[in-house]
Amino acid sequence: MFFTTFVSFFDSYSLGTTDSDIDNHLFLDSPVNVITVLLAYVLFIFKWGPQIMKSREPFNLKTLMIIYNVVQVFFNLILFIMAARLMPNFSAYCSPANISHTATDVAIRKVHYYYVLLKFIDFFDTVFFILRKKHSQISLLHLHHHIGIASTTWVTLKTIPGGVAMFVFLVNTFVHVIMYLYYLINLLDRTKTMWWKKHLTQLQLVQHFFVFIVFFIHLINYECSYSKGFLIFYLMNTLTTIYLFSKFYFKNYIFKKTHSKAI
């Protein structure tokens, strides 16, 4: 009942039925807005943040991070439910862009828009690392994932909304519910979540393999109208993500375990 009420609330917020209606929403009226946010994000990571923290002790952000993770679990769950409701309209073989003025296509663009906003909210993950002086956690994988997915989802919303990208929204919001729940429990009691970490990385890898397969099916289906150029880009980006996640997994769970046994 509780989540149904909130899903209904988000469903009632309409993006409109035309491209001009979508363009009037936050971040969507001009690419300058997104470029500015991405540039500020990068500058904060590599310049402003380190300068601010240079002579400071790490901030204690536990309470703020607990609230942040609760918010992330909640909104990712809401968006997952919204996406799941719409999935009967999609096919793993061909799901073209949703650009019509029907109620279903408007609802799909709505989910796409909310997903874009969530990806910008995810930037706070990195901000917290900087303010807590956890610079070692800001890896190439971390930056590639955050910057890549935020910019890509924005571009696709503006040009080819919905479509096969909905499979990404569905699995990614599901994984993020689990991921931010892990972070939340870890903040409350670290001993209860240590065994999750390896399996969480495995789940993330499964997610990206699933996305790669769906994108590849769309690419080789020549009768599908979804942009082949974007599909090629998606596939290359997903392969890079799989490589980086696999590298992280082997480094932290395979090679480290082998090394421990040798010792």
Residue given tokens 């979540």 in the structure block: 193
Angle at which helices 103-121 and 140-159 cross, to 10°: 150
* pLDDT at residue 2 greater than cutoff 50: no
Nearest to 69 by CA among 114, 122, 113, 10: 122
**pLDDT band at residue 7 using 50, 70 and 90 as cut-offs:** very low
| pLDDT, averaged across the chain | 86
d(CA 106, CA 111): 9
* Closest to 112 (Cα-Cα) out of 72, 156, 146: 156
| Residues 27/116, Cβ–Cβ less than 8 Å | yes
Contacts of 150 (CB under 8 A, 6+ apart): 34, 38, 116, 119, 120, 122, 123
Distant-in-sequence, close-in-space partners of 103: CB < 8 Å, separation ≥ 6: none
CB 177 within 8 A of CB 82: no
* pLDDT reading at 18 higher than 60: no
Give the start-end residues of each E strand in 109-165. Answer: none
At 121-171, the pLDDT tens digits run 999 999 999 999 998 889 888 998 899 999 999 999 989 999 999 999 999
Greatest C-alpha distance within the chain: 64
Q: Range of 50's domain?
A: 2-262
Active-site residue set: 145
- Per-residue pLDDT, averaged over 254-263, amounts to 54
Structurally, the chain folds into a number of domains equal to: 1
